[in-house]
Amino acid sequence: MVETALITGATAGLGAEFAEQLAAQGSALVLVARNAERLGEKAAALRSRFGVSVEVLASDLHDDDGVSRVLARLRDDSNPVSILVNNAGYGLPHSFEENPLADELNHAAIHLTVPLALSHAALQGMLARGTGRIVNVASVAGFTPRGSYSALKAAMINFSRWANFTYRKRGVTVMALCPGFVHTEFHQRMGMDKASVPRWMWLDARDVVRAALKDLSTGKAVSIPSRRYKVLAFIARNAPSSLVATLAVRGR
């Protein structure tokens, strides 16, 4: 039976790479993003290259109607989604107190509220069928005190750990993917100077997704791609919190 994967933020970065690698494995796809034109182009390329079925849902996940369309697709038992990748997200350019409140609340929705809503909808069918996988794209930043982005990612890591423990015995794996800096559009969109980050800290999206899918297949609750970030995450989780906070601020 062909599996169907629904991926948010599917036209670029890690979302696009998840689409590529899952299609290469023979999975049918449901691609979700705001830009209908880019969605159509991505879908056509994947159909041509891999010969898989690709649906598109042009939906703005900041909009209630957009979220409702994705929820409805996840609840459609006639063509069930067996893999959910909660990837949509972005960063804010300024410190918490400098960002407009509306921007912070939208940021919180896209990184926490919406993934929780989509996971809740997906779990209904997955648990009934006794099988399914959910990937919540978090960040190694979730192990450090570094603003609202880190706080939101920490919440998704904690949720994923709990959900994996709770639902894995019923056939559903829930995993938080925690990469570090990855060569995608994410940092350009927030106006970050990528040259300010040492070369050794950058990861390739293909390697990140390859490691994530491997960890997902073994039922891991948390995936931290690359040995260097595993070490950094270990330090962040075990060093004195004051030291971690100081280093995180210096690394901004």
pLDDT at 171 exceeding the cut of 90: yes
Q: Are the beta carbons of 17 and 188 closer than 8 angstroms?
A: no
Phi, psi of 57, deg, nearest 5: -130, 100
Residue 1: the pLDDT is 77
Cα–Cα distance between 174 and 123 in angstroms, integer? 10
Which residues does the annotation mark as catalytic?
Answer: 149
N-terminal to C-terminal alpha carbon distance within the chain: 46
Q: Are the beta carbons of 193 and 93 closer than 8 angstroms?
A: no
Decide: helix, strand or coil at residue 5: strand
Residue 231: the pLDDT is 81
143-169 per-residue burial string, b: 16 or more CB within 10 A, e: under 16: bbbbbbbbbbbbbbbebbeebbeebee
How distant is the alpha carbon of residue 117 from its chain centre?
A: 14
Cα–Cα distance between 241 and 25 in angstroms, integer? 42
Cα–Cα distance between 69 and 11 in angstroms, integer? 18
Q: What is the pLDDT of residues 52-102, one digit of tens each?
A: 999 999 999 999 999 999 999 999 999 999 999 999 999 898 899 999 999
pLDDT at 236 exceeding the cut of 50: yes
Residue 184: the pLDDT is 59
pLDDT at 175 exceeding the cut of 90: yes
Strands 83-86 and 132-137: parallel
pLDDT grade, residue 188 (50/70/90)? low
Residues written for the chain: 252
Residue 203: the pLDDT is 85
Residue 252: the pLDDT is 36
Q: What is the pLDDT of residues 9-35, one digit of tens each?
A: 999 999 999 999 999 999 999 999 999
Cα–Cα distance between 49 and 176 in angstroms, integer? 29
2 token code pair: 């062909």
Residue 250: the pLDDT is 42
pLDDT at 247 exceeding the cut of 50: no
Span 166-192, mean pLDDT? 78
pLDDT grade, residue 227 (50/70/90)? confident
pLDDT at 164 exceeding the cut of 70: yes
Q: What is the pLDDT of residues 102-152, one digit of tens each?
A: 999 999 999 999 999 999 999 999 999 999 999 999 999 888 877 899 999
pLDDT at 196 exceeding the cut of 60: no
